């Protein structure tokens, strides 16, 4: 072996040592990418540094592509998790040509990238579980607030509905919400309350009830999800007027009390396929509490109005009785008028009117 050969081998060994040293110093950077929402761009850059590549492609899943390349400027290797091949790495480099060191490094890279992708997947699942746990905790807090509103004997369904509508999007993972209310004593005058704190015009409320998503849910009588509005015939057939960012995913649930429909709650987002069955179940749970709150508020309003009317009727009736005892025949007519006013009380309370009362 000549001195020139020894010098060549020494230079090669130094280069290999330098590449190994650089690889070892960047291993931590590989695993740091697992915490990113999309680790692939950084993984491509790190793989390119290891292999001095012009271009790196990380393909997951592997698909039907070959794990071998006959082109001298392209090197292909598997991405593995354990013994399972989950993808492939394609490396392009014009010069110098790939050698055995590059192939060994690519094998190690396939294992490292596989471990990082697995860690990233597990981290994503953990983040999802954490977000769900936080959302459920927030929802429980909100439902507690709903319960407090119910037992506070609030007698203003409109104010109560606005309070509830503004809280719903954060509870179920949406961006916007609307609450369509159908008053029990005037079904022809629905109200549409928005999560931004606004109340629409009566004309818009009627349009939503007749031709909107809330109206569709009322006709179906059950909760619904539309994953992708641009591809769903049900959504495309609706009359929607969206000025700001368009809806891409929507869900809604009816508000009911027994067999009566009180309205519907709708939640939308500008992202496709954001809601699933768990979100819909949560929305239905929220809808149950809203139904209870709205119905309780309506009953409280009816009760207060009935108490006021009964007090007036009692006063007028006592006066008429005294006049009747004194022989005033006009007092009998006044008594009949007070009995007629009792019908209004029965109507407010939702009770059937007794025939003997109206006579």
Per-residue pLDDT at 352: 46
**Quick check: helix, strand or coil at residue 251?**
strand
Token readout for 289 is: 């509490």
| Element counts in the chain: helices (H) and strands (E) | 10, 8
- Report how far residue 273's alpha carbon sits from residue 227's, in angstroms, rounded to the nearest whole number: 5
31 Cβ contact list (under 8 Å, min separation 6): 115, 116, 119
Per-residue pLDDT at 249: 93
- Are 149 and 163 in contact by the 8 Å Cβ rule? The answer is yes
Give the count of beta carbons closer than 10 Å to the beta carbon of residue 42: 16
* pLDDT one-digit tens code per residue, 96-111: 888 888 888 999 999 9
User: Phi/psi of residue 156, each to 5°?
Assistant: -130, 90
Maximum distance among all Cα pairs of the chain, rounded to whole angstroms:
144
Per-residue pLDDT at 269: 92
- Report how far residue 95's alpha carbon sits from residue 74's, in angstroms, rounded to the nearest whole number: 11
Per-residue pLDDT at 242: 60
- Report how far residue 177's alpha carbon sits from residue 197's, in angstroms, rounded to the nearest whole number: 10
Q: Model's pTM, two decimal places?
A: 0.60
- List, edge to edge, every strand of the sheet that includes 176-181: 191-194, 176-181, 260-269, 249-257, 224-226
Per-residue pLDDT at 357: 35
- Are 92 and 74 in contact by the 8 Å Cβ rule? The answer is yes
- Are 147 and 160 in contact by the 8 Å Cβ rule? The answer is no
Per-residue pLDDT at 354: 42
Tens of each residue's pLDDT in the chain, 359 residues: 677 766 767 766 777 777 778 778 888 899 899 888 889 999 999 999 888 899 999 998 877 667 777 788 999 999 999 889 999 999 999 888 888 888 889 999 999 999 999 998 898 888 878 877 877 777 778 778 767 766 776 667 778 788 888 888 877 888 999 999 998 778 889 999 999 889 999 999 999 999 999 999 999 999 999 999 988 888 988 876 665 678 999 999 999 998 889 999 999 999 888 888 888 998 998 898 888 888 888 888 888 888 888 888 889 888 988 888 888 888 888 888 888 888 878 877 765 444 433 33
* pLDDT one-digit tens code per residue, 19-36: 778 778 888 899 899 888
Angle between helices 100-151 and 40-51 (to 10 degrees): 160
Per-residue pLDDT at 129: 85
- Report how far residue 199's alpha carbon sits from residue 115's, in angstroms, rounded to the nearest whole number: 53
Per-residue pLDDT at 359: 34
- Report how far residue 212's alpha carbon sits from residue 199's, in angstroms, rounded to the nearest whole number: 16
Beta bridge partners of 226: 250
């Amino acid at each position: 072996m000549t001195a020139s050969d020894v010098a060549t081998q020494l230079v090669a060994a130094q280069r290999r040592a330098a590449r190994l040293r650089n690889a070892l110093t960047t291993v931590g950077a590989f695993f740091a990418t697992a915490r990113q929402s999309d680790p692939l761009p950084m993984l491509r850059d790190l793989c390119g540094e290891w292999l001095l590549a012009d271009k790196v492609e990380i393909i997951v899943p592997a698909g039907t592509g070959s794990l071998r390349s006959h082109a001298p400027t392209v090197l292909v290797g598997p991405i593995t998790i354990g013994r399972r091949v989950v993808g492939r790495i394609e490396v392009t480099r014009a010069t110098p040509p790939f050698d055995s060191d590059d192939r060994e490094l690519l094998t190690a890279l396939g294992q490292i990238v596989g471990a990082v992708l697995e860690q990233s997947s597990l981290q994503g699942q953990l983040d999802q579980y954490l977000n769900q746990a936080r959302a459920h905790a927030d929802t429980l807090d909100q439902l507690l607030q709903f319960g407090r509103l119910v037992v506070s004997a609030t007698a203003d369904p409109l104010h109560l509905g606005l309070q509830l509508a503004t809280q719903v999007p954060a509870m179920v993972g949406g961006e916007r919400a609307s609450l369509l209310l159908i008053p029990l004593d005037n079904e022809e005058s629905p109200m549409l309350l928005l999560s931004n704190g606004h109340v629409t015009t009566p004309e818009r409320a009627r349009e939503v009830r007749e031709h909107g998503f809330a109206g569709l849910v009322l006709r179906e009588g059950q909760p619904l999800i539309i994953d992708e509005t641009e591809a769903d015939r049900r959504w495309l057939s609706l009359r929607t007027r969206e000025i700001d960012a368009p809806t891409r995913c929507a869900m809604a649930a009816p508000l009911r009390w027994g067999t009566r429909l009180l309205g519907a709650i709708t939640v939308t987002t500008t992202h496709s396929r954001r809601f699933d069955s768990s979100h819909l179940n949560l929305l239905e749970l929220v809808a149950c509490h809203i139904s209870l709150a709205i119905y309780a508020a309506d009953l409280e309003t009816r009760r207060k109005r009935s108490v006021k009317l009964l007090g007036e009727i009692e006063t007028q009736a006592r006066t008429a009785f005294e006049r009747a005892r004194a022989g005033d025949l006009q007092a009998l007519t006044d008594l009949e008028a007070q009995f007629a006013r009792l019908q209004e009380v029965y109507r407010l309370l939702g009770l059937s009117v007794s025939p003997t009362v109206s006579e």
